[in-house]
Structure 1
Amino acid sequence: PDLMEAMYRAVHAARQKWPKWLDALWRNHNPRPTGISEARENIHHHYDLGNEFYQLWLDSAEMQYTCAYYEQADKTLEQAQLAKLEHVCRKLRLKPGMTVVEAGCGWGGLARYMARNYGVTVHAYNISREQLAYARAEAERQGLDNLVTYVEDDYRNIEGQYDAFVSIGMLEHVGKDNYPALSELIKHSLKPDGIALLHSIGRNRPMLMNAWIEKRIFPGAYPPSIGEFMELCEHSDFSVLDVENLRLHYAQTLSHWMDNFTANQDKVTEMYDEHFTRAWRLYLAGSIAAFRAGSLQLFQVVFTHGDNNQLPRSRQDLYTFPATPEGI
């Protein structure tokens, strides 16, 4: 990671001065399509590698494959991931009896956390069968299957109206061309006083995904710039309530993941092969470097209907007591 961070910073400085023709050689290609059929193939490529693989290096609490929230730098990965879930719930102002829809639920940890700790009913959509199998088994084991429904379907087929709309780490896979349709979907899915939260890797300015990442790791991926993020909100006349950048939190999350991955790399090689292991080590190291160097950002954006007046007066309630659980 240190070497790659130095390279990223050097390249960024050099690009301010090099000739335009070099940009043509350096540019990345457009991401693969993200229509309904293509999205299934893209998700299968990355998320259906096997639950056993991800269990080797993700947190043991809720299998979160998104940025954690480190209130203090010395928190464990498990503590920080649970703190992230709590942070998201507070931003959505959840209360018992509310209904929530989640687009792209991963292994289902957020849905279970919301149901268990806030008493809400959740419909969580996902097209990864591996993840859904794990999510459903965990919900049943924890006695939460009466509150959480995991739906094997594309987010574009979400139906009904809810008190909250949430998506953690899915926007990167939506594709910019689909932002207007996503914006309209959220508008129709939210009740008049509903609140939405999108959590996504992003950029400070529009830029294509690294070609190697697009080919080997994340087909179809496109992290939006903050301006493109706001265009999604503007399309449906949403009021943006809060924007938080957790860039350095993601660098720390990835460092914990890489430590876990390195400790288990022999098992990974047995499951796949050495080329796979080397590719994923490079992906994790490069991602750490990209967040440290500022090439990537992590945005949490909260918004609501433009005419909704049922809003908190301040953010004070988000920080009344620590989000990080004790004793873990």
Structure 2
Amino acid sequence: MAMGTIAGDTAIEDLGEIARQQSNLPSASLPTRLVRFTADSARLGLAAAAINYFTAARKPVGAEKTWRFFTRRSPALLQAVIDGYPFPAQRRRVIDEIFRRSSADGIEYHYDVSNDFYELFLDRRFMFYSCADFNAPGDSIEDAQLNKANHILGLLDPRAGEKIVELGCGWGSMLRHVYAATGDRDNLSGMTLSKDQLQHIRTKFGFNVMLADFIRADHGVEAYDKIYSIGSMEHVRPDDVLPLYRRLHKALKPGGRVVQHFFSLNGTDRLPTSMMGAQAIFPGSILSLHSDHLEWARQAGFRLTHDSLHDYRPTLRAWFDRLVENRERAHELVGVQTTNKYLAYFAASWSFFDLGQGTLHRLVLRKD
């Protein structure tokens, strides 16, 4: 994660500039927050400490100041500190401690904030909380999410009479799009861990949605023609991915397919420092390497037939701008600190993708 542009050619100059940047951060409860920033930096690293610092502000943070702080490229020395600390053994200890909690708890923590709050920044047509496809310069977030939905629909190729399930179905965005294409409600179902989302889908759309952890659920034997997920595999811990792929392979009928839309880690480091920062937003969730995803899918018996890359950055900027536009209402719904956290989260995530630390992929996995 980038954390501002820092001038100077020596370590002392860099550290001095970090201190000056801290003095320019949001000023509410400054002494207390600086103490916490120091403690968080030592335990979790600068990325997590910065997100927590912005979140702890009792007053609204400056929008452009927040965006610039997280998205400006850092000089090589500071970026090396961000990427290298905490050291691997310390990262593992912290993550092992966090992993004592269920990943399901972290998902509920994030998504059960307020449906009305998410409506303030998501697209108004679908309420997709995942990467959109901005195919043309003039695309709005609504246009881009429709582009995404159509692309995934083409990969899924749903037909009436096919048993189809969505793993982690959000607010029913893609369920609606699949139903519009097939006209078959009876064979379409979804799974979610969010009670708010479950109530929203059942009340507003009447789809068959189960409150269940798709990661550990028994999906049956040859129960589905097609299975898809959008922004859900990010919540599957690395040790759980291969067992899940095996259960999904077992659950598919011969000739069936799994369509996935998710982002994963690039490179070779299976526990980079960026995953420490992620705990401030999705506690208990850790991404896997993309190369590991492909290998685990192969081991489970799948054949990869599609793997495309998509740019998450325009979506994150669109959400940031829309939340800023609706910030007063957000404060009424969830409070200043939660609003500050999401603004920092969108900006820090933009930097994560801009630095090439992760990439959004769409996969099609077939069962022959």
> TM-score, normalised to structure 2's length?
0.73
The match for 1:282 is 344
Task: Indicate conservation of the 8 Å contact 1:9/1:293, yes or no.
Answer: no
Structure 1 residue corresponding to 2:212, chosen from 153, 156, 168: 153
Compared with structure 1, are the counterparts of its residues 95 and 275 closer, same or farther at alpha carbon in structure 2 (3 Å cutoff)? same
- Identity fraction in percent: 26
The match for 2:323 is 261
2:121 counterpart of 1:57? yes
SS across alignment from 1:154: coil
C-alpha displacement at 1:136, in angstroms? 1.4
SS across alignment from 1:7: coil
- In structure 1, distance between residues paired with 2:197 and 2:264: 24
2:95 counterpart of 1:30? yes
Task: Indicate conservation of the 8 Å contact 1:201/1:299, yes or no.
Answer: yes
SS across alignment from 1:299: strand
Task: Indicate conservation of the 8 Å contact 1:173/1:222, yes or no.
Answer: yes
Structure 2 residue corresponding to 1:292, chosen from 336, 347, 354: 354
C-alpha displacement at 1:177, in angstroms? 0.9
Segments of structure 1 that go 5 or more residues without pairing to the other structure are 141-147, 309-328
SS across alignment from 1:30: helix
The match for 1:186 is 248
> TM-score, normalised to structure 1's length?
0.81
Letter in structure 2 aligned against 1:132: L
CA deviation map 1:157-206 (0-9, x unaligned): 23351111101111111101111210111111111010111211211123
The match for 1:139 is 205
Task: Indicate conservation of the 8 Å contact 1:164/1:190, yes or no.
Answer: yes
The match for 2:281 is 217
SS across alignment from 1:194: strand
- In structure 1, distance between residues paired with 2:140 and 2:289: 30
RMSD: 2.5
Structure 2 residue corresponding to 1:4, chosen from 59, 70, 86: 70
Query: Rg: which structure is higher?
Result: 2
Segments of structure 2 that go 5 or more residues without pairing to the other structure are 1-66
C-alpha displacement at 1:76, in angstroms? 1.0
- In structure 2, distance between residues paired with 1:186 and 1:8: 42
2:361 counterpart of 1:302? no
The match for 2:236 is 174
Q: Which runs of 4+ in 1 moved over 6 A?
A: none
The match for 2:137 is 73
C-alpha displacement at 1:277, in angstroms? 2.1
